Amino acid sequence: MDSSSHNKLFDQVVRITHVYLGPAADRFIVRQIQNHLHKSPQELTRSDLTRLIDWIRVAVSLLTEDTEIIEEYTAQLELLAANTNHGASWHEAK
């Protein structure tokens, strides 16, 4: 999915997902964005992250019953969302 690789936020989400889904990470995130947010990966913004994380949680729950993995994965994404929002607020305040 080269077309989506220039979106930094998308890349960060894929990087976290890679730890859990390996080579399928990129395709998995593209599907979640397109099917549930009805956007292209290039259009992913920080305001979409909360909804995306919810959908990712649902999707990963279908793949594994291991709640520890699900919690760990979504916690990583929530941390990314928090950092992104914090960064954005800091820029806005400036």
Partner 1 sequence: MQLRRYSFIVSKTREGTAFASLSEGAKWLAWGLPVPALISIILNSIANSHPGFTAAATIISNYVSLTVPLVAFNFMSSGSRSLLQKDKLQVTAQSAKLLVLGFVIIGVVFCYFIFRNLASLHAVSSQGPYYLPNWLLILTIIIPYLYSWLIGLLAAYEMWLVGNNVAGLLYRRSLQTMSRAIIIIVGASIAIQYIQSVNPSHGRLSLGYIVVFIYFILLIYAVGFILLALASNRLKKIEEV
Q: Which is closer to partner 1, CB of 63 or CB of 75? A: 63
The DSSP secondary structure of 61-92, one letter per residue, reads HHH---HHHHHHHHHHHHHHHHHHHHHHHHHH
9 forms part of the interface with partner 1 (CB under 8 A) = no
Mask: binding to partner 1, 60-79, rule CB under 8 A, as x and -?
x-xxx----x----------
The rounded radius of gyration (Å) of the Cα atoms in the chain is 13
Stretch that binds partner 1, among 3-11, 17-25, 38-46, 76-84 (CB under 8 A): 17-25
Binder to partner 1 among 14, 28, 52, 74 (CB under 8 A)? 28
In 8-39, which positions are buried (b, 16+ CB within 10 angstroms) versus exposed (e)? ebbebbbebbeebbeeebbebbbebbeebbee
Interface residues with partner 1 (CB under 8 A)?
A: 18-25, 27-28, 31, 59-60, 62-64, 69
